[in-house]
Amino acid sequence: MSTTECDPGADDADVQVVQAFVTAYNHRDLQRLSELVPETDEIWDIGGGPHLGTHLWTDVVAWAERGWEVDDRLQLVRVIRYGPQSGSDITVRRTNAVLTADGIPELTLLIKIPSSGCTIERLIASVSADETGGCIFYETYLDKLQALDINMDEVPATCSAE
């Protein structure tokens, strides 16, 4: 559902906050993003490394604005719930101009989102080689990921087994 609404007392607040976050991101709504992620010690976004220039952020506004420069978009695919005061794991599809220019039409991200009510505490995104675009991502950006000090020596073995 495409909404930025979230009821902190709802039984499904963990789902609502994720829906609100993805919608606010795609609608370029900095105010709503700031409300949903008021302070965080970590936005870990390996899949954004190629267009963000780093994989670790502490400011949701700076992270979002950098993504919007390349028309970064997220499509929510799946939510695994842990409860309104715990958070969720989500799967999203990312598209942007940098990925497209490098032959990756979409990239699947697996994101852990600890949250409480309608407040996101942290985002930890990874790229699975088993998901859409994963192997191409690692093959294309291995050198860039290593330069970002991401502990990665080689393309995942599952990619070379194909």
| 3-class DSSP state of 83 | strand
Give 17's Cβ-side CA count (13 Å radius): 34
- The percentage of the chain sitting over the pLDDT mark of 90, rounded to a whole number, equals 80
How does pLDDT run across 110-132, given as a tens digit for each residue?
A: 999 999 999 999 999 999 898 88
Angle at 113 between CA 36 and CA 79, to 5 degrees: 105
pLDDT at 161: 62
How does pLDDT run across 31-79, given as a tens digit for each residue?
A: 999 999 998 889 999 999 999 999 999 999 999 999 999 999 999 999 9
What is the CATH code for 13-147? 3.10.450.50
| 3-class DSSP state of 89 | strand
Query: What is the sign of the dihedral through the CA atoms of 26, 97, 139 and 52?
Result: negative
pLDDT at 160: 77
The model's confidence at residue 1, banded by pLDDT at 50, 70 and 90, is low
Q: Which of 59, 38, 56, 58 is nearest to 47 (CA)?
A: 56
Question: Does the predicted model carry a pTM greater than 0.85?
Answer: yes
pLDDT at 162: 47
Domains of the chain, by residue range, sit at 13-147
Tokens of 4: 């930025």
Rounded to whole angstroms, the Cα distance separating 126 from 89 reads 11
- How confident is the model over 1-27, as a mean pLDDT? 94
